[in-house]
């Protein structure tokens, strides 16, 4: 089945040049005439173009450049921007291709490239086995009883075993090829049966540790070719999602280990650093932004990310300096604000077991929905549990702000805003404002602080904050 090409703009400066001779890849692609075809490559899950070739009246053209292409899995793209078939690019970059779109992807002829001849055989085999696997998976929905399901599971295992046997055979016969490096990298550990676990009994922790410790056995982090494959990023994502404890300290240890091993290969180091920055600058779980700050301090701010574009570098520096001030566990920055009567009411003057900071805007539609709900749970529950609410007007105008407070009877809160004169003083002195200190780029945003004003939680919903408060109070009682 043809796949529609999705072009993506990479966030880093990515050059294709290397200090060797160039590439010369003539292509005959019928029935296309007088049209451009394209040579694309993977970059993790992204796809980008490396070159184009204009086909003549006989469907002949050539991909050609003075500098060689970095190794990886590439693909030929039709004039209609459809991926037609994949090819391997490695050291041998002078070879030719003959294909007909009517018989793709099974009939592609490569001349002068052993890697691609082997890769094409593998592609044909996987297309066949893949079809059988898909049919077997579909048949599971039609299974009438446990006996039918058992037969289908057996068949599925036989098919996947055939795939692995084929790969193992290719590895044995062609040990020094790029294709073998790909097969080795795609392998997943096979956990020994329970009889071989300690005590001759299945142990889930042993199985987990074995699987994790052998997960990267076939991967060489000095091999930059893996960056330009469609599977490496998925393998990386699976590792951090399923095998790494999602605590910042555990993640930091893992990313440092990988970046250390990849240092000798600029392509792999560059890819991994960008991947981790992207993943943890806006993380899936609260507190993991500490990993991004770690990456910034150890690698980016020490001059090891000069390959970033200036625009991306500006973004990273801005985000890092915002997040440094509000990491989980750190003291919250003081907010030297005034109340509705312009009387000083700094954050640290609020004395309570917990403090919820609510950054909001009276003109924000989401705030209009959420803020009254925060007030409801405060009056119904939090107030009796020693929780204070410190409401900060981000924008919206003083009159609109006070009207919303009165109309919605937001009593019991400490309502504050920043005087315009103070804001100008901060700007003139080059001091970070409260938006930077608390990473306030949208509203509403909620923070939870302990009695010493250390950050317990941030950027959660009011219901999630309530769960954290309940947990903290429960732990306090048990202690």
Indicate the range of 114-128, 243-257, 316-330 predicted with least confidence.
114-128
Q: Once rounded to an integer, what is the mean pLDDT over residues 420-426? A: 90
pLDDT tens digit sequence for 196-235: 999 999 999 999 999 999 999 999 999 999 999 999 999 9
Instruction: Tell whether domain 347-478 is in CATH 3.40.50.720.
Output: no
What is the three-class DSSP state of 314? helix
To 5 degrees, how large is the angle CA 297–CA 303–CA 305?
90
Per the CB < 8 A criterion, the answer to whether 466 and 377 are in contact is yes
Residue whose tokens read 């050291």: 91
Domain ranges, ordered by start, for the chain:
3-112, 123-186, 194-326, 347-478
Instruction: Tell whether domain 3-112 is in CATH 2.60.40.1120.
Output: yes
- Give the phi and the psi of residue 104 in degrees, each rounded to 5: -80, 150
Check if 3-112 and 347-478 are the same fold: no
Res. 237: pLDDT tops 70: yes
| pLDDT mean across residues, the chain | 91
* Range 55-61, long-range pairs (CB < 8 A, 24+ positions): 55/27, 55/29, 57/33, 58/28, 58/33, 59/28, 59/29, 59/30, 59/31, 59/32, 59/33, 60/26, 60/27, 60/28, 61/26, 61/27, 61/29, 61/37
pLDDT tens digit sequence for 36-62: 999 999 999 999 999 999 999 999 999
Q: How far apart are CA 326 and CA 453, in angstroms?
A: 11
Q: How far apart are CA 232 and CA 181, in angstroms?
A: 12
Res. 407: pLDDT tops 80: yes
């Amino acid at each position: 089945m043809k796949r529609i090409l999705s072009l993506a703009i990479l966030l880093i400066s990515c050059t294709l040049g290397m200090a060797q001779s160039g590439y010369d890849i003539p292509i005959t692609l019928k029935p296309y005439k007088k049209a451009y075809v394209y040579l694309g490559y993977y970059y993790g899950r992204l796809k980008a173009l490396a070159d184009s070739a204009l086909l003549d009246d006989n469907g002949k053209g050539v991909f050609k450049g003075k500098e060689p292409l970095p190794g990886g899995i590439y693909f030929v793209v039709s004039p209609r921007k459809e991926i037609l078939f994949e090819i391997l690019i490695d050291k041998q970059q002078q070879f030719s291709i003959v294909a007909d779109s009517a018989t793709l992807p099974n009939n592609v002829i490569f001349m002068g490239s052993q890697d691609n001849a082997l890769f094409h055989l593998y592609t044909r085999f996987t297309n066949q086995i893949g079809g059988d696997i898909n049919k077997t998976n579909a048949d599971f929905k039609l299974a009438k009883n446990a006996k039918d399901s058992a037969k289908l599971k057996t068949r599925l295992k036989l098919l996947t075993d055939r795939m692995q046997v084929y790969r193992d055979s290719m590895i044995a016969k062609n040990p020094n090829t790029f294709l073998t490096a790909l097969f080795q990298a795609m392998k997943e550990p096979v956990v020994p049966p329970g009889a071989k676990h300690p005590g001759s009994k299945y142990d889930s922790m042993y199985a987990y540790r074995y699987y994790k410790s052998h997960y990267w056995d076939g991967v060489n982090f000095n091999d930059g070719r893996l960056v330009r494959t469609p599977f490496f990023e998925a393998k990386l994502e699976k590792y951090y999602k399923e095998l790494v404890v999602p605590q910042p300290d555990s993640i930091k240890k893992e990313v440092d280990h990988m970046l250390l091993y990849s240092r000798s290969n600029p392509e792999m180091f560059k890819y991994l650093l960008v991947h981790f920055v992207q993943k943890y600058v806006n993380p899936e779980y609260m507190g993991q932004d500490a990993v991004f700050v770690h990456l910034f301090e150890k690698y980016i701010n020490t001059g090891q990310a000069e390959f970033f574009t200036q625009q991306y570098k500006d973004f990273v520096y801005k985000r890092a300096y915002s997040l440094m001030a509000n990491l989980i566990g750190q003291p919250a920055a003081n907010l030297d604000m005034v109340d509705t009567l312009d009387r000083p009411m700094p954050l640290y003057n609020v004395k309570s077991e917990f403090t919820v900071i609510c950054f909001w805007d009276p003109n924000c539609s989401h705030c209009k929905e959420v803020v009254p709900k925060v007030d409801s749970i405060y009056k119904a529950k939090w107030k009796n549990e020693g929780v204070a609410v410190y409401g900060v007007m981000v924008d919206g105008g003083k009159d609109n702000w006070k009207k919303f407070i009165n109309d919605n009877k937001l009593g019991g809160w400490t309502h504050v805003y920043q005087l315009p004169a103070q804001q100008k003083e901060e700007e003139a002195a080059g001091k970070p404002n409260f938006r930077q200190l608390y990473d306030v780029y949208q509203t509403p945003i909620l923070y939870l602080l302990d009695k010493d004003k250390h950050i317990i939680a941030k950027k959660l919903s009011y219901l999630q904050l309530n769960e954290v408060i309940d947990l903290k109070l429960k732990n306090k009682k048990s202690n």
